[in-house]
Amino acid sequence: MQNSSVPEFIPHPLLWSGHAQTIAAAWLPTRSRVAGRTTRHAVDVSEGDRVVIHEDCPATWSPGDRVAVLVHGLCGSYASGYMVRTASKLMARGVRTFRMDLRGCGAGRNLAANPYHGGRSDDVGHVLTHVSQLCEGSPIAAAGFSLGGSLLLRLIGESSPLVPPQLIKAAAVNAPLDLKRCSLSLKHSAGGRYDRYLARLMFEQVRGTRLWRADVPLARRGSPPSRVTEFDDLYTAPVTGYRDALHYYEECSASPYVGQIEIPTLMIASRDDPLVPIGVYEDVDVSPAVNMVLSERGGHLGYITGRTTDPDRRWMDWRIVEWLTSPADIAVASRHLRAVG
């Protein structure tokens, strides 16, 4: 279902393919900086672990004004380029913004003994609850990127009690809704290069931290895994209580929950995403509350355009910012907050 209110993405002429968009987005330096002083908060989640959220508050912000929470993707952090750019743009619109580090990531690298994974939607819920207490009476919007998008969609679709009434909008970009299909497809994408690259990043992210376990199969190997499914078989599944990678994927995918979402939600995906097959979007049951935009191009978290009416070439950033800060929706949210308050 194409949302006609969202402008069409036209790729930069030098970045026409999904691979080019994906690689450029990952490696081009981010010039954006979040203005002002960033405040860190440690948030308790489950199993005695904590995560860190990074708060950026505009000088003009007042109680009752808009708030946004951003959730990064696989092997990312609060400092990932898309997180910094989006936070900077939201700040410029007067939005108090919180960037979440998933378990063991970013500033919370050694605050968790258990890893993040696709089923840890409650971690996002704990953060949203914490933010709602810090910003009582303010409407909250949330956006997740890649795996962070899946976590957010799963949370709001399963009607978790951790979703505060202040959460009035959500957005997800290139979310791997079906973990099994996405992970298994990696071996065929670009000759398995993405698979090897991500498996190495995942291995490096846990090695040498509190997340490392000497008693899991991965520790007994003489070399890092070469595939994401291998990493999940040898580390993620045994550490988090699943039989194997396939059991983990079946239990933790977001796709069964997308049809149950009641909060207005924007989902963006691209047909040339080399990491997330477009079929996972074409086959999913979508709630009437979801606006799903399937772009012909854009890659994975790429969406770098050429000529544009936006202030810069980052089409994805502006679609997220516009969705999260729509004035009409804020007016509706204000009435909703008064009703539940």
For residues 114 and 239, is the Cβ–Cβ distance under 8 A? Answer: yes
SS3 46: coil
d(CA 94, CA 194): 37
Choosing from 32, 146, 185, 189, the catalytic residue is 146
Q: Is 286 exposed, middle or buried (0-12, 13-18, 19+ CB in 10 A)?
A: middle
Enclosing H/E stretch for 103: none
d(CA 71, CA 78): 8
67-71 β-sheet, strand order: 39-44, 50-56, 96-100, 67-71, 140-145, 167-173, 265-270, 290-295
Tell me, what amino acid is at 73? G
Enclosing H/E stretch for 265: strand 265-270
d(CA 279, CA 135): 39
Task: Supply 303's token pair.
Answer: 């969406």
- Please confirm, yes or no, whether 273 is among the known catalytic residues: yes
Choosing from 54, 273, 295, 317, the catalytic residue is 273
Task: Supply 39's token pair.
Answer: 């405040």
Report which of 81, 77, 104 is spatially closest to residue 34, judged by C-alpha positions. Answer: 81
- Please confirm, yes or no, whether 300 is among the known catalytic residues: yes
Which residues, in sequence order, are bridge partners of residue 71? Answer: 100, 144
Helix axes 315-324, 81-92, angle to 10 degrees: 50
Cβ neighbors of 271 (< 8 A, separation 6 or more) are 278, 294, 295, 296, 297
d(CA 72, CA 83): 7
SS3 190: helix
The residues carrying an active-site annotation are 146, 273, 300
